[in-house]
């Protein structure tokens, strides 16, 4: 089974540099699950090729953005209920850890860039399908 994003795509097309070849498989697996969850599991390794070219590209960019996010913040940011986004200016570092609040249970665990890419695809439609009526 092939992944939607491979290390070559991550480094050569996306130009990612946060994940190395050793950490990439695990980060890719975690990131792919987050993005699949955000899009209600509508896309997998076989269905991605049936999507419009732009949607395929945006989906892959979302996965890569999430890989970078997890490489920087740690996979634990998805499970510990705390956001780990911080910043540094010169010698001053602001950790940024804090409990998640408005924006959903995982809002501090999702790359803002990934959300931005996915918003353009229509795959994050929150409508809940009714049996026998999809899409309605």
pLDDT digits (tens, 9 = 90+) for 5-47: 999 999 999 999 999 999 999 999 999 999 999 999 999 999 9
Tell whether 35 is covered by a domain: yes
Tell whether 17 is covered by a domain: yes
Q: What percent of the chain has pLDDT over 70?
A: 69
Tell whether 127 is covered by a domain: no
Tell whether 126 is covered by a domain: no
Beta bridge partners of 130: 133
Q: What number is the average pLDDT over the span 57-82? A: 86
Tell whether 131 is covered by a domain: no
Q: ∠ at Cα 7 (4, 11), nearest 5°? A: 115
Local confidence band at 59 (pLDDT 50, 70, 90 cut-offs)? very high
Number of domains in the chain: 1
What's this model's pTM, rounded to 2 decimal places?
0.75
Local confidence band at 100 (pLDDT 50, 70, 90 cut-offs)? very low
Angle between helices 53-73 and 112-119 (to 10 degrees): 170
Q: What number is the average pLDDT over the span 84-100? A: 52
Tell whether 124 is covered by a domain: no
Least reliable range by pLDDT among 4-13, 43-52, 91-100: 91-100
31 within 8 A of 81, measured Cβ to Cβ: no
- Structural domain of residue 90, as residue ranges? 7-119
Tell whether 134 is covered by a domain: no
DSSP 39-67: TTT---TTGGGGS-HHHHHHHHHHHHHHH
Mean per-residue pLDDT of the chain: 82
């Amino acid at each position: 089974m092939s992944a939607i994003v491979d290390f070559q795509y991550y480094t050569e097309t996306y130009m990612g540099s946060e994940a190395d070849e050793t950490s990439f498989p695990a980060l890719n697996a975690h990131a792919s699950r987050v993005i699949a969850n955000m899009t209600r599991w509508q896309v997998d390794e076989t269905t991605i090729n049936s999507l419009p070219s732009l949607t395929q590209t945006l989906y892959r960019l979302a996965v890569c953005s999430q890989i970078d996010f997890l490489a920087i913040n740690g996979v634990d940011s998805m499970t510990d209920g705390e956001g780990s986004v911080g910043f540094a200016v010169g010698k001053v570092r602001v950790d940024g850890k804090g409990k998640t609040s408005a924006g959903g249970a995982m809002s501090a665990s999702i790359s803002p860039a990934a959300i931005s890419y996915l918003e353009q695809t229509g795959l994050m439609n929150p409508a809940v399908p009714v049996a026998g009526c999809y899409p309605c």
